[in-house]
Amino acid sequence: MRTTWTQRAAYDALDGGARRTQKQMILDLFYSPFLTLTRQEIADRTNMRLSSVCGRVRELLDDAKLAVRGAQKCAATGVNNETLGLPAAN
């Protein structure tokens, strides 16, 4: 994935503490291993911008703290959106 200069600058402007706080806000939503949410639902529930949610979710996926658990069709657009949840317990 290519990133623009603006995206990199915005990411670098966030200090590590802000990223950790946003990641923790997202993780705190998943109080049940059965709960799945789309990125838009996460943005709505945390009052974070969708672009911020996407960045933090990518980090959580890379860290294996969240997992893609399926897809859900958007009623308005018909586009399939990934649903995210806690990784399955081993």
Q: For the beta carbon of residue 42, count every other beta carbon within 10 angstroms.
A: 22
pTM: 0.76
- Report the interhelical angle of 16-29 vs 50-62 (nearest 10°): 90
pLDDT per residue as tens digits for the range 23-63 = 999 999 999 999 999 999 999 999 999 999 999 999 999 99
The one-letter amino acid code at 71 reads A
- For 59-82, what is the mean pLDDT? 93
Q: Which domains can be identified in the chain, with CATH numbers?
A: 5-85 (1.10.10.10)
Q: For the beta carbon of residue 73, count every other beta carbon within 10 angstroms.
A: 10
Nearest to 66 by CA among 52, 82, 50: 82
